[in-house]
Structure 1
Amino acid sequence: MRETLRVRLGWLHSWVGFLAGLLLVLVFASGTLAVFDTEITQWMQPEVPLTQTTLLSPTALQAAAETIQTEEEQGVSAFLSLPSHRDPILRVLHYDGHEFIGAALNSTTGAAFPTRDTAGGQFFYNFHFSLRGGTQPGAQIVTFLGLCLLVALGSGIIIHLKALWPDLVLFRPFGPRPRAWVDAHLIAGVLFLPFILFMGYTGTAIHARLLIPAQSFFPSHNTALPKKEKAPPKGHVLQTGPLLPPLAPLLAQARATLHSPDGNLVLFTPDEVRIFKSDAFGPFLTRDHVDFSRKDGRLLRSVTHSPPAAATMQLVRGLHYARYAPLSLRWLYFLSGLAATALAASGFVVFLMKRRRSSGEQMFFRLAEGLTITTLISFPIAILGFFWANRCLPVALHDRMACEITLFFAAWALCAAHALTLSLTRHATSGWQQQLGLLAGAGCALPLLDYLSGTHPWSHGGGVFITTDALGFTTGLIALWALLKLREPTA
């Protein structure tokens, strides 16, 4: 009876893991990059110096207020992201339907930096939670994938529980290929199981109300912050309020009330100015805020406490988004995300290896291998293509951000067509090798491209540029190693 259960769970683990994993790998990879979304934006906007002070001057706040007023007159609902230690820039942002984008201002003078138009790291954050499909149906699909992840993890634990300890002790990375890949799959799954389970559960819980109509069981986030909704239609004019009062005294009063020294968000309605506590203050992603009259700047109210149910969801969101995390903890999130990606990737390889001899000539198997290449190799190529586009496209190009995103999807589509064509025509090995070669070249050449572009002085914020280039170069080296391994006669 026990063996029958393990066999059935093995079938469930294999097929749910493979079918859901084709998209889960994309969610894992983009979520891993989204841990450093702010730093990626800084890399993709090299015109912004990262040596700015986080202290705000009244002059800068006045310039930001004037920018807000101008954007409101043009039908754009904008808000302020105040400087923080992680991002020492005063930003005037609005939601375009996918990302929060906008002008970057000097926190002392208020002068706008001439930045290139780019989605930056926000692109990966949006892709992670919605696959660029919006709340309906994108976030619904990702939430359902979270449920599939929990099913695959639960069945995998039961399947391997009996022989788990011997398999971990007898890790055989240089043994027979199938055994080595199974061991790698187990190692990635076991060592990072708490993180993967936790992120899968919290990610599903955050948007569970999208799948279950009974929303009362899942208290939603306070809706006072900018919502991820459709952008206003072209030509639409928002209701604008009176001229904004001086923001410096309001900010000082709000910070004292909220005990939040920097990084606050400032939102505007036709009647009010709302200053929110920084998301980086702690693991609770609170929506504490202080509201002032837009007409005369008088204090209207302060909201600094949440009911227990809302506080629980604030903790779930805060731990999942990790906006509070110091640099060392963000790197731990990043490495754990890579492990989750490796867990799914090694599972794909094991799935194909087990079925190649019996089903290798069938159309379904060839399609499955083509989709695996599309997910494991083509998607990283598209990501690197996104970074390459940022450095290669002219800075003054019209609709430049859309061009970057279009090139990302074009590169991915071309690589996917290449992989599926070769796989369906029984040349999958060539597909693996050719795309690994392209990935190796794009990754290893990224630092050279960044250097030759001359877009930034390496002495200013060099850590962001060096780290990003180093990660691209490391990706290229891993792809090169895999290519050499694949070309061995025993592969």
Structure 2
Amino acid sequence: MRETLRVHMGWLHSWVGFLAGLLLVLVFASGTLAVFDTEITQWMQPEVSLTQSTTLTPAALQAAAQAVQAEEQKGLSAFLTLPSDRDPVLRVLHYDGYEFVGTALDPTTGALVPARETAGGQFFYNFHFSLRGGNQPGVQIVTFLGFCLLVAIGSGLVIHIKALWPDLILFRPFGPRPRAWLDAHLLAGVLFLPFILFMGYTGTAIHARVLLPAQPWFASHHSGKDKKEKTAPKGRVLQAGPLPPPLAPLIAQARELLQSPDGNLILFTPDEVRIFKSDAYGPFLTRDHADFSRKDGHFLRSATQSSPATATMQLVRGLHYARYAPLSLRWLYFCSGLAATALAASGLVVFLMKRRRSSGEQALFRLAEALTQTTLIGFPTATLALFWANRCLPVTLSGRTMAEIYLFFTVWSLCAAHALVLCMTRHAASGWRQQLGLLAGAGCALPLLDLVSGSHPWMQGGGVFLTTDSLAFCTGLTALFALLKLREDAA
């Protein structure tokens, strides 16, 4: 009976893992990048100085208030994010249907920072939780994938628990290809199992309401997206409100009430100014805010939520989004995210290897291999193309944000078409080698492109630029290593 259970669990793990894994790789990879979404935005906007003071002045806040009113007169619901240690500028943002975009102001003078238009790290954050498909069906699909992940982990434990310890002890990274890939799959899954389980569960719990629309009690206790997404207006306002009163005293009063020192979010309605507690203040990601009259600035109310159910979900959201995390903890999230990506990616490869001999000539298998190529190589190639586009497109190009994103999807589509043609014509090995070569070139050459572009002084914010370029270079080296191993096996 035990062996029968393992057989059934093996079938469940293989097929649920493969079908869901094609998209889970994308969710894991984009979520890993989203850990440093602010830093990616800084790399993509090199005109923004990272060494300036974050001290706010009344003049800068007045300029920001005027910018908000100007956006409202265009029919856009704008809001402010105040400077913080991670992002030292004052930003006037609005939601364009996918990302929060807008302008950056100097926090001291209020002068407009001439930064290039870009979706920045917000693109990966949006892609992580919706695959850029909106609340329906994008968020629904990703939430369902969270359930699939939990099923795959549970069934994987059942089928591997008996031989788990010997397999870990006898890890054979340079052994026969199927065994090496399976060992890598087990190692990533076991060592990072707590993180993967936690992120899978919390991500599913945060958005579970989209799959349970008929449960109002569930929706009231499970908050969906983070504070910015939920509270930032997404629609158009009917009319612009009056020019907000001086914001400096309101911010000081709100910070005292909310005990939130910096990085606050400020939303505007025609009648009110709402100052929210910073996401980065602690692990509880709240929507606590203080409200003031937009007409004369007098205090109206403070709103806090402290029930046990609410606090639990605030903690779940805070730990999942990790906006409070110091740099060292964000790197731990990043490395764990890479391990989760490797777990899903190696699972796809193992699935194909186990079936190549028996099903390699079938059209369905060749389609599966094409989809795997598109996921494992096409997506990182398109991601690097987004970074290349940021440096190559003219800085003053109109609609520059969407041009970068269109290029991302164009490159990804071309990779998919290339993989499909070669796999369906029984030249899959050539497809792997050619796309790995492209990925290696794009990754290894990005630091050189960044240097040649002269878009930023290397001494300013060098950590952000050097780290981003180094990670791209390491991606290229990894692809080059895989390419050389494929050629060695084919020889």
TM-score in terms of structure 2 length: 0.97
Q: CA deviation at 1:482?
A: 0.2
| Aligned partner letter, 1:217 | F
Q: Which residue of 1 aligns with 2:61?
A: 61
**Closer/same/farther in 2, CA of residues 237 and 288 from structure 1, 3 Å limit:** closer
Q: Which amino acid aligns with 1:115?
A: A
Contact 1:35 1:330 in 2 (8 A): yes
Listed as ranges, the gaps of 5+ residues in structure 1 are none
> How far apart in 2 are the matches of 1:360 and 1:205?
39
The change in CA–CA distance for 1:231 and 1:297 in structure 2 (over 3 A counts) is: closer
| Ranges of 4+ aligned residues in structure 1 off by more than 4 Å | 222-226, 228-232
Query: Structure 1: how far apart are the matches of 2:77 and 2:13?
Result: 46
After superposition, the CA RMSD in angstroms is 1.5
Map residues 191-206 of structure 1 onto 2, 5 A cutoff. 191-206=191-206
Aligned equivalent of 1:221: 223
Pair 1:366 & 2:381 matched: no
Structure 2: which amino acid aligns with 1:376?
Answer: L
1:161 is paired with a residue whose SS is: helix
Cα separation, 2, equivalents of 1:251 and 1:3: 64
Give 1:221's aligned amino acid: S
Hey, what's the Cα distance between the residues in 2 that align with 1:237 and 1:68?
12
The residue that corresponds to 1:88 in the other structure is 88
Structure 2 match to 1:281:
281
1:435 and 2:414 matched: no
Deviation, 1:277, is 0.5
CA displacement, residues 230-259 of structure 1 (integer Å, 9 cap, x when unaligned) = 954xxx653322221000000011111111
Query: How many corresponding residue pairs?
Result: 488
Q: What do residues 48-90 of structure 1 show as CA deviations (whole Å, max 9, x unaligned)? A: 1101211101110000001011111111100000000011110
Q: Which residue of 1 aligns with 2:245?
A: 245
Q: CA deviation at 1:302?
A: 1.1
- Structure 2 distance, partners of 1:442, 1:202, is 34
Equivalent-residue separation in structure 2 for 1:178 and 1:190 (angstroms): 18
Tell me if the contact between 2:209 and 2:224 (Cα under 8 Å) persists in the aligned partners: no
Supply the distance in 2 between the matched residues of 1:30 and 1:71 (Cα, whole angstroms). Answer: 30
Q: After superposition, where does 1:163-174 map in structure 2 within 5 Å?
A: 163-174=163-174
Counterpart of 1:17 in structure 2: which amino acid? G
Aligned partner of residue 455 in structure 2, secondary structure:
coil
Letter in 2 for 1:454: G
Q: Residue 86 and residue 225 in structure 1: after superposition, are their counterparts in 2 closer, same or farther (change >3 A)? A: closer
Structure-2 residue corresponding to 1:115: 115
Percent sequence identity over aligned pairs: 77
The 1-side partners of 2:262 and 2:31 are apart by 25
Structure 2: unaligned runs, 5 residues or longer = none
Q: How does 1:120-269 map to 2 (within 5 A)?
A: 120-212=120-212, 213-218=214-219, 219-221=221-223, 225=228, 227=230, 232=235, 238-269=238-269
- 1:316-347 per-residue CA deviation (whole Å, 9 max, x = no partner) reads 11000000000000000000010001001111
Could you say if the C-alpha distance between residues 328 and 132 of structure 1 is closer, same or farther in structure 2, counting changes exceeding 3 Å? same
Normalising by the residue count of structure 1, what TM-score does the alignment of the two structures yield?
0.97
The alpha-carbon deviation at position 355 of structure 1 amounts to: 0.5
**One-letter amino acid of the counterpart of residue 270, structure 1:** P
In structure 2, the residue corresponding to 1:409 is in which secondary structure?
Answer: helix
Q: Is the partner of 2:92 in helix, strand or coil?
A: strand
Matching residue's letter, 2:351? F
Q: Show the counterpart of 1:455.
A: 455
Amino acid at match of 1:384: L
CA drift of 1:305 comes to 3.8
